A and B are shown apart, each in its own frame.
Chain A
Amino acid sequence: MSVPVMTVPGELRTGETTAAVRAAGLRKTYGTGETAVHALAGVDVTFAAGEFTAIMGPSGSGKSTLMHCLAGLDTATAGEVWLGDTPLTSLRDDQLTVLRRRRIGFVFQSFNLLPVLDARENIVLPLQLGGLRPDPAWFDAVIARLGLRERLGHRPHELSGGQQQRVAIARALLPRPDVVFADEPTGNLDSRSGAEVLGLLRSSVKETGQTVVMVTHDPSAAAYADRVVLLAGGRLAGDLADPTAESVLDALRGLGA
């Protein structure tokens, strides 16, 4: 087990910018006793608003579990998560669901879209689930930025992998959530489409101040982020500002990955 290096306590960063998401003492344990597996073994981390953060780490480091707990998809065994000022662990399932619908956007690696809905319906789905209508100007802006105007009437199986991910990003951005969580958004894409998707995520941060947290195992994807949080063995193992592919690779090597 490696000793955490370059750890920056969450509280320190909170002072500098507003925190979009914050976790304290986060633990997630599967099983009990001898066979217990600690996916998260006490994580304190803060994600600043308007920043593009990548969570990296070797397989089994707990990066996906961390994201699931931060996004209210999974419940932690111990610890607390705040979305802005809202503590998530005390929320009931329905409250969590509504919170995800209103304040969190998701982009997954695969199976992002509902096959029975066309692109437009997929994009407005979270708003409609809450009985809301999209702001037309903002909808147009998002569609234009993602280049989806010609594809709105298509069903997911009529779209390429890259197009599907762009629809997923549009869906994530449309409700102007507090934070967009992206779980290996380029995992299933060729490198050109991957670069396009990462560029779009990055520009949404730069141009509209959207907070994005992305889980990835690809150093060159992580290089698009403003900051990289490294995870190993369920603990925070490093924190890089303004990463490049090389600095990320170096940091990963430092973890013994």
Chain B
Amino acid sequence: MRSVVLAQLRTHAARLIASTLAVVIAVGFVVATLVLNETSRSTVLDTVGARYVHAAAVVTSEGGSLADDVADLEALSSVGVVAPAYEAGVSAEVPGRPGSQYLSVQSVADAPQLRWEQLSSGRLPREVGEVAVTDRARAEVGDVLTVSAYDADGEATTSQATVTGIVDLRGDPQAGLFARGFVTEAQARDWGAGFPAELRIAAGPGFGADEVLRDVTAAVPGDAVVRTGEAQAERAAAALMGNTTALASVLLVFGTIAVVVAGLVIANTFAVLLAQRTRELALLRCVGATPRQVRRSVLGEALATGLVASALGVAAGIGLAALISAVAGSNSAIPLSGVAVPLSAVGAGMLVGTVVTVLAALAPARAATRVAPLAALRPVDPAPLRSRPGVLRLVLGLLLAVPGTALMGGGAAMPDVRVALPGGVLSFLGIVLLAQRAVPPVVAAVGRLAGRLGGVPARLAAGNATRNPRRTAATATALLIGVTLTSAFVVGAASTRATATAGLAAEFPTDVVVEGFAGELPGSLENTLARTDGVARSAPVLAGTVAGPDGDLVGAFGVDRAEAAATLRSTEDLVLPGPGQVSVPEWLADPWAVRDGDRLTLGGDPDREVPARQFTVRVVDADNPLLLDATELRALAPDASLGQVWLRLADDDPARQLDVLDRITDVVAEASPDTQVTGLIAQRAEIDEILDVLLLVVTGLLGVAVVIALIGVGNTLALSVVERRQENGLLRALGLTRGQLRGLLAWEAMLVAGVASALGVVVGGSYGLIGAASVLGQVGDLVLDVPWLQVAAIVVVATVAGLLASVLPARRAARTAPVAAIAAA
């Protein structure tokens, strides 16, 4: 039988291309994920761990100072040198750059063997008054920095330091966060470093790390921890890698989805391949092959396909990882340099691809053994294949889907994601099983509609699409899974964004707040800001003090309600008072013992000679001072002046809002140096950006599943074309033009892809909404949002892609000579 398997593979290699492609993509995806994870781990180890890897031992202490131990340790015979690490935080002014910046300072080891810093130019500092900095400081060698160091009481001392070199942190993911400075131990202590947090130890000549570790452990106090340099490097890397490991597991979830979809496509391909080969298999049985041998030959074919495809997939995955690593490089959020290929990734890829292929071929192989020897002698049966979807499948599907959906609904209502999530998984499995039964009738119904629109080719396509319900269902299910997950994510992310935006707007209702450090702003500033390009509305906020009911003076803001309201995104938390009203923050309402609707007397201050006034209280959940009507504040506090300016930015181009924020900062800095600009818009933009990137990445990942499924659509069609050669020939003989024949296949592809994606969007959209409800409902006020445009785009893209998938098979079908109908198979 082996010769038969090999001959089959040689002859039908082309027909296996689709399954191979599906396996290659799925395996490639999994392998690329594993390789990228490993690459980023080793990159972090190289960069974050750089300072430790060359040390024989590292001593760290949670509590006390290690300074006293240095001398003791250096006295040990196995210890060469000890480098205590002093750390301090200072602010530094770089000549030619406005303002000062934070500089995280650490001491450089005296001993060359414990120096790990890589310099891109200059040299490391040798004495007090010298500093090497990272790129981020944007200083150049020779610059003299003005450094302000603060002692424990917050008293600043200012000194000068000359930049001697620029340190290159390579792929350190934290390199971009803030600037770092490298100085001598003495300088670090001068700048406020207290005691060394860790000691790095180099072995003495002739001693190994083990001996150093043993001796040092014995010598240091009990609360200090001693590790080898490598162990400490691993630890540092792991601390930073926590997030990326989580990311890798998320990626692997998507990898699993891709693998499942690929499995469906493969199972389908094999089923069709074997259906076509019925007579061949029967002939094998006629000449004496046992059912066992037939099954083995089919599985052997699957095994060979799986091995080849997995190997290609592993290669593709490594290539993809290398490409991503090269393109993203050290600029990405995940640190990457080069590629590190763990053997486990290669093994996992080969195993997953091969096992999935063989498993997918099991059912078709079993069907193949049921071929009767007589089938070889019968002419081809023109009757449509009738396959009954299994009752077991139906029952199991219902058993999973109904309670799963109920659980999910309960989880959304509670709301508790821990209830909704298992419900979602169960019901989705159920839906996948039920899809086998539900898809063909839906395709038939839609096909009847299409038949009215598209004429004869569409009607024929509708008939063709449902003549083998199991195959159509399997093809559609593969696409359904991909589309369901994609749309679930798109809808879920939209609701998350809507909820987050609403929450942010309530919490930070102003886009930009300008306020003075010292309190008073120049009166003309509001006008200047209002005229700044990109500012839509502005409102001045008066600041003054008024006497509370207890006679003490408290800060108060005064606004014109209409003017201020125009600048706010939400007045849910920040309630603007009208005349006769006051918004009292909770922190004042408690000591004053006032509640909503109470009357409150303010301003009965004997020193100021202003009459007291009565106000109606609104208690608000905000950090602001008292909030009054501007006119009334002026009456109560004649010395009130401009305290804040609230700005609302134009929405026409969200991308430009950050530029506008920069411009406002410049304008303000010029007008009044000790002024603070708080851009809540920046926070909002940041959250938006994170969601955008996340959405893009995940959509891209799920796109892989959709692509595999579409290969399945093309594959099913291609095999149908082979199968229906005679029939297509007959149609051509009877007057179906080539164009109409291509149309027929296009309709068939669009029907299957369209129905699958429409169902997927409906199911996935519901999942997205339920998921968002159960997750976000726990956090705060839920805002559900369906991005109709994106949802419609998913259906259109999947359907059009289905159409494209039909192009190649259709070309082949159109080449069928009409004579093929008569020249019987």
Binding site for B on A (CB under 8 A): 64, 68, 71, 73-74, 93-94, 97-98, 100-102, 106, 108-117, 121, 125-126, 128-131, 155-157, 171, 183
Contacts and interface: CB of A to CB of B under 8 A. Distances in A.
A125 to B, nearest CB: 6
B447 to A, nearest CB: 10
Contacts of B129: none
A128 B384 CA distance: 23
Contacts of A64: 822
B735 A116 contact: no
Contacts of B460: 114, 116-117
B821 A111 contact: yes
Interface of B: 379-380, 382-384, 455-456, 459-460, 463-464, 467, 726-727, 730-740, 817-819, 821-822, 824
B417 to A, nearest CB: 47
Contacts of B727: 111, 114-115
Name the 3 nearest CB pairs between A and B, nearest first: A101-B735, A116-B463, A157-B383
Contacts of A116: 384, 460, 463-464, 467
Given A73-B819, A101-B735, A115 B383 contact: yes
Nearest to B457: A129
A171 B731 CA distance: 12
B383 A125 contact: no
A160 B456 CA distance: 26
Contact of B730 (A71, A97, A102, A114): A114
B738 A126 contact: no
A82 B818 CA distance: 19
A102 B455 CA distance: 17
Contact of B382 (A74, A100, A130, A156): A156
B734 A101 contact: yes
Nearest to A71: B733
Contacts of B821: 108, 111
A98 B821 CA distance: 17
Nearest to B814: A93
B819 A97 contact: no
6 contacts: A74-B819, A111-B727, A112-B730, A114-B463, A128-B456, A131-B455
Nearest to A72: B818
Given A64-B822, A73-B818, A128-B455, A115 B467 contact: yes
B734 A106 contact: yes
Contacts of A113: 382
Contacts of A98: 735, 737
Contact of B735 (A121, A129, A156): A129
Most central of B459, B738, B819 by chain A CB within 10 Å: B819
Most central of B380, B467, B735 by chain A CB within 10 Å: B735
A171 B824 CA distance: 20
Contacts of B456: 125, 128-129
A48 B464 CA distance: 40
Most central of B460, B464, B738, B822 by chain A CB within 10 Å: B822
A74 B824 CA distance: 15
B811 to A, nearest CB: 14
A89 to B, nearest CB: 16
A115 B383 CA distance: 6
Contacts of B740: 129
B735 A97 contact: yes
A68 B456 CA distance: 25
Contacts of A115: 382-384, 467, 727
A126 B734 contact: yes
Given A111-B382, A116-B384, A116-B467, A73 B734 contact: no
A183 B736 contact: no
A115 B464 CA distance: 9
A157 B382 contact: yes
Contacts of B734: 100-101, 106, 125-126, 129, 171
B110 to A, nearest CB: 87
Contacts of A100: 733-735, 818
Given A111-B726, A128-B456, A73 B733 contact: yes
A98 B736 CA distance: 8
B452 to A, nearest CB: 13
Contacts of B731: 114
A241 B735 CA distance: 32
Nearest to B383: A157
B822 A130 contact: no
Contacts of A117: 460, 463
A73 B732 CA distance: 9
Given A97-B736, A114-B463, A116-B467, 10 more contacts: A93-B737, A101-B736, A108-B821, A109-B824, A110-B824, A115-B467, A115-B727, A157-B382, A157-B383, A183-B822
Contacts of B735: 97-98, 100-102, 126, 129-130
Given A94-B737, A157-B382, A108 B822 contact: yes
A157 B384 contact: yes
Nearest to A116: B463
Contacts of B464: 116
A128 B459 CA distance: 11
Nearest to B739: A94
